[in-house]
Each structure stands twice: as C-alpha cells, then as structure tokens.
Structure 1
Amino acid sequence: MNENEFVKAYAPATVANVCCGFDVLGFALDQPGDEVWARKSETHGITISDIKGIENLSFDPKENVIGVVAQKMLDTLGLSTGIELQLHKGMPVGSGLGSSAASSAAAAFAVNQVLGSPFTVQELVTYAMEGERKASGSAHADNVAPSLLGGFVLVRDYEPLDVVPLGVPLELYCTILYPQIELKTSLSRSILKQEIPLKKGIRQWGNLAGLMAGLLKKDYDLIGRSLHDEIFEPERSVLIPLFKQVKAAAIKAGALGGGISGSGPSIFALSASMQQAQAVKEAMEAIYAGSGIETKTYVSQVPEQGVRLVAQSTFQPALPL
C-alpha cells in the first residue's frame, strides 16, 4: 500500500472461559466491537493520531495496546516503516467482553493489511497477545484468538502456542447483560484458589469435554448440561450483584445455559435461536429493573468470522470515525 491509502479493521467482542473452559476457551460475538484505522506514514515508527469513543486512553504507542501490537509486528519483520493508527472504541472497557483484545486484534489485522499481509490470521494471534500482555500483564489468547478467528476457539497450550479453531458447528445466539459496575480483573483473579480438589477438577474436565462434544455433535442438550463451572463461578459470582437471579431467569426463559463472561461483570447466556435469545434478554433485564444499577444488553449470533476488513480507500487526514 502507498501512503495515501488506509485500511479500517473491525474486531468483535468475545466471551472467554465459557463456564467450564477457564483460560482455554472463548467465542466471538458479532457486536459490540472496536475499529482500528491504519496507514503507512512518513513519520518514523508508530504514531496514534486519534482515539474516539473513550476518554483517558494514552496516545503513546508504548502505552496503548494498538501501538504495542504494531511495534511487535514491525520488530519481527525488521522494518522501520512508519505506521499511523487511529482507534474507535465501540465497546465498554472493564466489561468482561475482551475490550483490550478487540483493540489488539483489530490493530494486528489492520497493520498486517498495510504491510501486505505477511502473516496469516492465525499467526496474528501471537502479536495480538502482546496487547493483552500490556493491558493485563499476561499474554493470554482466550479473547484475542476468537476475536481474530471467529466462532469457538480452544487454546490447548501456550508452550508452544496451540490454538484450535472450532468454528460454529451449529446455530448459537448469545445474550450479554453488562451491569455497569467496576470490577477489576486483578480483583476477580485474586480471590481464586490456587489449588482445587480432585473431585471438582474431574467434574470440570468432564463439563469441558462435554461442551466440546456437544458443539461437534450438534447436541444442544449436551451443551446445556455442560455449561457449568464447578470451580471459579462460585467464587467470582459474589462480586456481581444479582448474578444468581439473572442466570436463573435466563435458563427459565429458555437459555441453554450461561455464566460469567471473562472475569465479569458481564453475564452471558447461550440460546439455540434469535427469538429465544431475545426472550432471554428481556428476562435478564427484568432482574436488574429497579436495582439502581444501569445495564447494557447485547444479542448476537456467534459468528463464523472474527476480525474483518471493513474499508480500504484513499487516506483522508481527518479520518472521521
């Protein structure tokens, strides 16, 4: 690409852990998501020229995940190409929906396009993980991998990284309720026990295997039976007001199952149809009505595709987002 062309990439939010898949499983949503604009520039190195949709994010490329991701890609290729980036946050921060992962995934994809696509989308997972390292101190893949690859993704191992895209073997719709409270990932992780009883571990492994089998066999009933977190949800759910009531209401309204999205506070529920997911949305919202806690809700099909190119055109200096 020349210096008068830009690309715009969109990367979606994600649900990580998925009850029984703590730190190893995630799936993509259609929306919400983040957009990153990228182009080559005459200025040496990485510059971030605009951020919209959120306040108080750093324009310093060493302190913003999109700059960290881009620099890592240039370093790997041994390039000194100037890259200009702009970020449009379309999703809430600290929601448990993979906010930093969406920004990182969109940046990795946009920069890769600008550089002529030297990396496959699956190879971009490694670079997007560097954004997660900057955001949380841990280069985890359970959000960035589904944001990039779409569908369900299993992170089998990190040494070496082994990411297994499962796709979307059957129709699934996700209802997300985000109670707008502050819940730091550090707190959500700090309350977790470092050791688990063998009996609980066996149940958890059985649920994860059951969920994988349910997806691949297209067995909604097995998926529903397996969407159970034996270990972490009981400890984390006390940090989320009305969690048990919301989960129970979702299942009563027809959801296959649900739980905490990522480290929370968002709560997710999976359904077999859009109509059911909408009914679940109403049931979940009703629990918070009158609670004094504001909420945002999203209903999304679990998509086959994750990150995608949404524009490529002649560069305009203002880059209206």
Structure 2
Amino acid sequence: MSQTNKRSVKVFSPATVANVACGFDVIGLALEGTGDEMELHLSDKPGVRITSIEGADLPLEASQNVAGVALMALLQEYGKPEIGIEMSIKKNIHPGSGIGSSAASAAGAVAGGNMLLDNYFSPDALIRFAMEGERLACGTPHADNVAPAILGGFTLVRSYQPLDVIKLHTPQDLWVTVIHPQIEVKTSDARGILKQQVLLKDAIRQWGNVGALVAGLYTEDYGLISRALEDVIVEPIRSILIPAFHDLKIRCKEAGALGGGISGSGPSVFMLSKGEDNARAVAAMMENIYAPLGVDYKIYVSRIGNSGVKAINI
C-alpha cells in the first residue's frame, strides 16, 4: 500500500474473487483495475462520518455501513477519541455481485484511514478491522475478500483464531475472467443453504486440491492449477442459484480456461486462464452462453492485481 502524510487521501480498493474453487473461506485474489474509489479526510469532529455514497443505495450512518464499521474499529484501537475521519465512497462494484463489494468498502476505509494515521497499523491489523465490516454484511467476519483487497494478489487464510494470513505467489501470466449476472445473491442467503457437515472423503479431496493449488501457484505449473480448481463441497449446492453455471464451466474450459468456479457467494462466476488471449476468448464464450438467456450481465477481464488498496491522485 502507498504511504501518505496528507490530511486527505483518495484510494482505489480492488474487486476480489473469494472462495477460489477449493479454497472456500480461505483463498482469495484481487482484480486489477476494477474496484471502488474512496476519499478520506481527517476531521476536527471526532468519530467516523460518511458524507456521500455514489453508485449504490447504502446507509450513510457509519454504524450501519461496512466501511463505517471497519473504520470505527480502527479508530477505537488507535485510542485517540479526538480523531475524526470523513469519507465519501464511489461504488463501482455492485452490492451482491460476488466480487467483493462489501470487502472493497471495508478494505478501502481502513487502508485509507491508516494512510492518514501515518501507517500506524500493520496489514494484518487492517485485515482484522475490515473483517468487522464483513461481519455487518453477512454475519460472519471472514477474511478471504478483505485479505486480497488489502494485500493484493492471491492470499491464504491459514487460521482465523488467531488470524494468520499469507500472501501467496501470483504467476505473472495468470489472468481472471469474471461474469456477473445482474441478479443479486446475498452472502447471508448463500451461506444459509450450505451443509454444516461434509463427508470425510470429500474433505480429503478438497484438502488435496487446496494444497495442489498453492503448489501450482508457486511453481507456476498451470496444469496443476487447472487440476486443482475443483470444489466438491460448496459449489454443488450454490451452483443451483446461478443460471447456466455448468454450461459456463464446461464451455469456458473448452475455450481455453484453466478452470474456475463461483466467485464469493455468487452470482458471479470466475475463470482463470494463462495469458490475456485465453482470458478474452473465455469472455467471448461467456457472452455466447449468456446472450440468449435474457439475463443482463457484465464481464471483467483482468490480470491478478498484485498491489491491493492504493492511493491515487485526488
């Protein structure tokens, strides 16, 4: 993350893909060039105030907004009650899209706030604060979106108690294509349909895929990455909420994708590819599948964003 000593800062907070296939609640990645923009200012009035939100109908009351709650957690631990921060938010990520809308707001708020405080807190602390925003959004303080939003690249949540997050190696030629059907799947609803117990044989298969995915990223073995992109626990249940999901998976791989799955809680679907050409061929296939369905959609083609939240010019 960039550093600043100014009383004002503007940040870009990236969209993210979480639950990367086999990595439910533990592996996420950041997109490059797609995300929210936020301006934060030190204020003489104590506390957190949200002055405006553009692009989404979300609460201005800080205690009811994920960005406000996350920043409030940061200021509470900072321990100087006279400090105040005002922020305005431009939402370029539609809430409920499955590419980390709430995480972008929470991550951008705490990272921007930290810049105003001369980077007082560590990235791990920022992840912890941003998780409070996710708690408000869906009832569970998960880190697999906010971690890549703050750290960039691929991230692995090894443990939640205590919190232990690792930034993984990201191959230079790895791209992601995401299709966002313009329907809303709330994270809380998508979590509600999940089974609370899994078969041991499925857990063993999933563990093997998680290990293989991490190994494939570090060795830049695209064949291994492709074989590891399999979710036998969550995807079979959540995929029923997404139009043409199975057709997408099969035909996008035929178009050159390594593989993919549900982005976050859906309805977005992501596909990883080696190289931009394959990623754009996958995007074309997604269009071919969705155009006849009568469902509005948006497609993103992006390199994996390696920087996380960053300061931009006001």
TM-score bin (small chain): over 0.9
Distance of 2:40 and 2:126 partners within structure 1:
16
Q: Name the counterpart of 1:62.
A: 63
Contact 1:167–1:304 (CA under 8 A) maintained in structure 2: no
Distance of 2:244 and 2:169 partners within structure 1:
32
- Tell me whether 1:154 sits opposite 2:139 in the alignment: no
Q: Name the counterpart of 1:113.
A: 115
- Tell me whether 1:222 sits opposite 2:224 in the alignment: yes
Indicate the larger mover: 43-52 or 233-242: 43-52
The Cα of 1:163 is off from its aligned counterpart by 0.3
Distance of 1:272 and 1:90 partners within structure 2:
26
Distance of 2:44 and 2:172 partners within structure 1:
47
The TM-score, its normalising length taken from structure 1, stands at 0.94
Distance of 2:269 and 2:149 partners within structure 1:
18
The Cα of 1:128 is off from its aligned counterpart by 0.8
The Cα of 1:188 is off from its aligned counterpart by 1.4
Measured on the aligned residues, the alpha-carbon RMSD in Å equals 1.4
Residue-by-residue CA offset, 1:2-43 (whole Å, 9 max, x unaligned): 9x8410111101111111011111111113211111111122
Q: Name the counterpart of 1:318.
A: none
Contact 1:35–1:90 (CA under 8 A) maintained in structure 2: yes
- Tell me whether 1:175 sits opposite 2:177 in the alignment: yes
Amino acid at match of 2:191: R
Q: Indicate the percent of aligned positions where both proteins have the same amino acid.
A: 50
The Cα of 1:311 is off from its aligned counterpart by 2.6
Contact 2:177–2:279 (CA under 8 A) maintained in structure 1: yes
Contact 1:8–1:38 (CA under 8 A) maintained in structure 2: yes
Distance of 1:279 and 1:262 partners within structure 2:
23
Distance of 2:138 and 2:93 partners within structure 1:
17
Amino acid at match of 1:29: L
Distance of 1:68 and 1:190 partners within structure 2:
23
Q: Secondary structure at the match of 1:22?
A: strand
Contact 1:6–1:114 (CA under 8 A) maintained in structure 2: yes
Amino acid at match of 1:67: G
Unaligned runs of 5+ in 2: none
- Tell me whether 1:72 sits opposite 2:73 in the alignment: yes
Q: How does 1:191-230 map to 2 (within 5 A)?
A: 191-230=193-232
Q: 1:231 aligns with which of 227, 230, 233?
A: 233
Q: How many residues align?
A: 310
Distance of 1:120 and 1:141 partners within structure 2:
15
Q: Name the counterpart of 1:127.
A: 129
Contact 1:168–1:303 (CA under 8 A) maintained in structure 2: no
Q: Secondary structure at the match of 2:313?
A: strand
Q: 1:184 aligns with which of 165, 178, 186?
A: 186
Contact 1:97–1:262 (CA under 8 A) maintained in structure 2: yes
Amino acid at match of 1:249: R
* Structure 1 residue ranges (4+ consecutive) displaced by more than 6 angstroms after TM superposition: none
Distance of 2:86 and 2:126 partners within structure 1:
19
The Cα of 1:301 is off from its aligned counterpart by 0.2
Q: 2:258 aligns with which of 256, 275, 278?
A: 256
The Cα of 1:199 is off from its aligned counterpart by 1.1
Q: How does 1:218-297 map to 2 (within 5 A)?
A: 218-297=220-299
Amino acid at match of 1:282: A
Contact 1:31–1:298 (CA under 8 A) maintained in structure 2: no
Contact 2:16–2:149 (CA under 8 A) maintained in structure 1: yes
